[in-house]
Structure 1
Amino acid sequence: MTLKELFAPLGQEAPPLPVRGLTQDSRRVEPGFVFVAVPGVPLPHRRPLDGHAFIPEALRRGAIAVVGEQDLTLPVPYARVADSRQALALLARRFYGEPDRALRLFGVTGSKGKSTTAFLLHHLLEEAALLSTVGLRLGGEARPPIGHFTTPEAPEVYAFLREAADRGLREAVLEVSSHALALKRVEGLTFRVGVFVNFYPDDHLDFHGTPEAYFNAKTLLVERSDLAVLNTSLTHLERLRQRPHLLFGPGGEVWAEGVREEEGLRFTLHTPWGKGEVHLPLIGAHNVENALAASAAALAAGVPLEKVLERLSGFPGVPGRMEVVQEKPFRVVIDFAHTGKSLEAALRTLRPTTQGRLLLVVGAAGERDPRRREDIGRVAARLADKAFFTEEDHRTEDLGAILEAMARAAAAEGGRFELVPDREEAILKAILEAQEGDTVLLAGKGHEATLERGQEALPWNEREVALKALRLRAKAEGSSPREGGA
């Protein structure tokens, strides 16, 4: 595509130079790229960066044109727009040839369970693409996630959809965060089915400001979907039901009866297409909600009920989501729980199937809402028998101050805890302390492939760190660790 063709919808004259790519990150600019200068996002913990300040760097790296919101004179073609984020998405869609036109899109949003629901739905659809926090799938091919976001920036979204369409796939499941919707990372997309799993009003208030703004951001997915799959427990459900919809959960059209935890989850699935028995090999009754949401979306898209029942029983699970590393003699579980509410859900899920103590390794991220670390400390004190408070992407914040905030909150609840700043050491300590029948929960990192210390993003694999600790313990005891799953 030429710059003249790319800029045509903006009403901007430009020479017919070949465009090799576009980005909002000046560090990714290469010769032949278009740089889109995006204003930064103001957050309580830091001053926002402004993409306009990085235009000189983009030009040095070879940008052939710039898009921005300020009145500027530059030595390359410059398109001034009212909204750089919207322009970034629409230009990306145009540059990648509107790949969404060749795909049936399924969007999944919600406060909790987005990743599991998206993975379940992708599994039910079989030959589909998947873009999620945990990773990417192009049919059966697995790839690591793009960056640290649930939903990457618009150029990455559209590039992924282009590759999916070029591979001959006809469906794609996108895990869509409230940030992505508010920041227009999925602008221009229309979804065949939009799934709204659940809503917790106290999440992400550092970004959205109010529960109302947070909810309104998520409803954008519903508004852009031909059919909305909605949880019957959602706030303002009547407002959402103005769109064509399918309800799941108690009182809905897709619901579960007789839920029991027996080697995973078992229940009777009721739907407008019939009913059947489900065996879902996942830990935790909360996953019934995720299964209902994914099943409703798949059934609405035309997947037969028999196929849904069959594929639910063969679901391999989600990396870093209640992932069992070892079952016996004590259980080791990895989970992404990184807020007070998600940690509480994880601990309450594991307690009934833990014969001994519940040991917890957990931290709290830096440059995020400071209330999160206090919530985690309180939940750990109430629901774990002992906690090891450690690092979790403290970034440029002082790790000691984060741990002290967690410790104060835990101490006020009378909890037992240790402060172990190094995460690998904390995991080893917890595993060395575990006894037969105990459960060790490693919370907060889950699937993530980096650990952010200061300005560095260090390689990280929670499962490998846990297995290393188990090997060290086994070596000391003269035995071998037992790796398992559920």
Structure 2
Amino acid sequence: MTLEELFAPYGLKAPPLPVRGITLDSRRVEPGFVFVAVPGVPLPHRKPLDGHDFILEALRKGAIAVVGERALALPVPYLQVADSRLALAHLARRFHGEPDRRLVLLGVTGSKGKSTTASLLHHLLQGAGVETALLSTVALRLGEEARPPMGHFTTPEAPEVYGFLREAADQGLEAAVLEVSSHALALKRVEGLAYRVGVFVSFYPDDHLDLHGTAEAYFGAKALLVERSELAVLNAALPHLERLKGRPHLLFGPGGEVWGEGLREEAEGLRFTLHTPWGSGEAFLPMLGTYNLDNALAASAAALAFGLPLEGVLQGLATFRGVPGRMEVVQKEPFRVVIDFAHTGKSLEAALQTLRRTTKGRLLLVVGAAGERDPRRREDIGQVAARLADKAFFTEEDHRTEDLGAILQAMAEAAAREGGTYELVPDRKEAILRALSEAREGDTVLLAGKGHERTLERGTLALPWDERAVALEALRALGFRGQGPGPGQRGL
């Protein structure tokens, strides 16, 4: 596409120069790119960056045009807009040839359970012969081909979203499952997308208030997915449900059209009777945690609404290999080692309660709290750790530019108020080794907070990180072998 064609809908005359890419990150600019200057998001804990301050850097790197919100005179074509983020999404969609028109889109949002539900829905569709892409926190997939996730974002920026969908469409895939965060909806990363099915899994009103400000604004951001979907699959326990039921919908959970009966949690997973408008059947999901029933119901409802037969859904549930970093068992004997992404008080509480039910000995915990995030999170984690773990090792988890010692001290003070047993071990690798070295037969060690993530943020650096590899290395150093490859992973 040429610059002239890209800017035509805006009425800006531009030369027919070939456009090689679009970005809002000046570090990614290459010759032939269009740079979109986006004002930063104001958050309580840090001063936002402003893309307008990086225009000269983008020009030095070869940007052939700039988009921004200020009145500027530049030596390249400049498109002034009222909303740079909105323009970024529309330009990215146009640049990539509106790939969403060639795919059936299924979106998944929620405070908790998005990644598992999206991954399970992708698995169900693939198992039924529907070639499907997956864009989620934990994985990118083009059919069965796996790609590494795009950094820390649940949903990447619009150029990456549309670029991924373009690749899926060009490969002839039929559908795409997108994990859609409230950040992505509020910050217009998925503008222009419409969904055949939109799934709203869960809602916790005290999440992400540093961005949204109020629970009402947070809910409103997630509700945008429902508004853009032909059919909404909704948790019957959601607040403000009447507000969401104004369009075609399917409810799951108690009181809904899709629900589970007779839930039994076994060592290898969950068994229940799945009831749906398409019939009923006995289901098995090889995942730990009774809370995964909601994720199974959500994915099943979406798959059935898409057109999959009930028998195919039941077979797909039983063959699901799990999600990397979500209750992922690294070692079973003589003590169990589990990796989970739990990084808030509520999610950590659910993880510890789940593991307690099947732990014969002590429950040991390695956990941190992220810097440049709501400070209440570290207190919640400290309190939950003290109440539900026999011993906690408080350590780093992306402290970024905040003082790690202060974060650990806040967690320790919260744990001390609950009478908890804990150690402060700033280095995460050392903390994991310390916890594993204390474990005895029948114990469970939970490594919480990092899950699938592939970086550890210290200061301004994003260092390579693989929680599973670190755990396996520590186990080998202690004379254990671990369980080998995890879900969707190769052996180490």
TM, length-normalised to structure 2: 0.97
Partner of 2:68: 68
**Cα offset for 1:124?**
0.5
Q: Which residue type is aligned with residue 384 of structure 1?
A: A
Candidates 453, 468, 473, aligned match of 2:473: 468
Partner of 1:231: 235
**Cα offset for 1:485?**
6.7
Partner of 1:294: 299
Q: What is the alpha-carbon root mean square deviation over aligned residues?
A: 0.9
Candidates 209, 213, 219, aligned match of 2:213: 209
Partner of 2:25: 25
Count of aligned positions: 482
Task: Confirm or deny that 1:192 pairs with 2:196.
Answer: yes
Q: Which residue type is aligned with residue 303 of structure 1?
A: L
**Cα offset for 1:81?**
0.4
Partner of 2:490: none
**Cα offset for 1:15?**
1.1
Q: For the residues of structure 1 that align with 2:484 and 2:332, how far apart are their CA atoms? A: 7
CA contact (8 A) 1:328 1:482 kept: no
Task: Confirm or deny that 1:254 pairs with 2:258.
Answer: yes
Partner of 1:35: 35
Q: Which residue type is aligned with residue 98 of structure 1?
A: E
Superposition pairs for residues 403-414 of structure 1, below 5 Å?
403-414=408-419
Superposition pairs for residues 303-318 of structure 1, below 5 Å?
303-318=308-323
Q: For the residues of structure 1 that align with 2:288 and 2:139, how far apart are their CA atoms? A: 21
| Secondary structure of 2:456 counterpart | strand
Q: For the residues of structure 2 that align with 1:368 and 1:480, how far apart are their CA atoms? A: 36
| Secondary structure of 1:214 counterpart | helix
**Cα offset for 1:385?**
0.4
| Secondary structure of 1:353 counterpart | coil
Q: For the residues of structure 1 that align with 2:282 and 2:170, how far apart are their CA atoms? A: 37
Superposition pairs for residues 123-142 of structure 1, below 5 Å?
123-126=123-126, 127-142=131-146
Deviations 1:1-20 (A, max 9, x none): 01010001112111111111
Structure 1, 8-17 or 289-298: larger mean CA deviation: 8-17
**Cα offset for 1:480?**
4.5
Task: Confirm or deny that 1:340 pairs with 2:345.
Answer: yes
Unaligned stretches of 5+ residues in structure 1: none
Superposition pairs for residues 7-18 of structure 1, below 5 Å?
7-18=7-18
Alignment CA distance shift 1:404-1:461 (3 Å):
same
Alignment CA distance shift 1:78-1:358 (3 Å):
same
Q: Which residue type is aligned with residue 202 of structure 1?
A: D
Deviations 1:125-181 (A, max 9, x none): 102000000010000011111121000000000000000001110100000000000
| Secondary structure of 2:97 counterpart | coil
Partner of 1:180: 184
Deviations 1:363-392 (A, max 9, x none): 000111111101100000011000000000
Q: Which residue type is aligned with residue 95 of structure 2?
A: F
**Cα offset for 1:472?**
1.0
| Secondary structure of 2:82 counterpart | coil
CA contact (8 A) 1:267 1:278 kept: yes
Partner of 1:112: 112
Q: Which residue type is aligned with residue 457 of structure 2?
A: E
| Secondary structure of 2:70 counterpart | coil
CA contact (8 A) 2:472 2:481 kept: no
Deviations 1:199-255 (A, max 9, x none): 000000111110000000000000000000000000100110001100000010000
CA contact (8 A) 1:261 1:284 kept: yes
Moved over 2 A (4+): 479-486
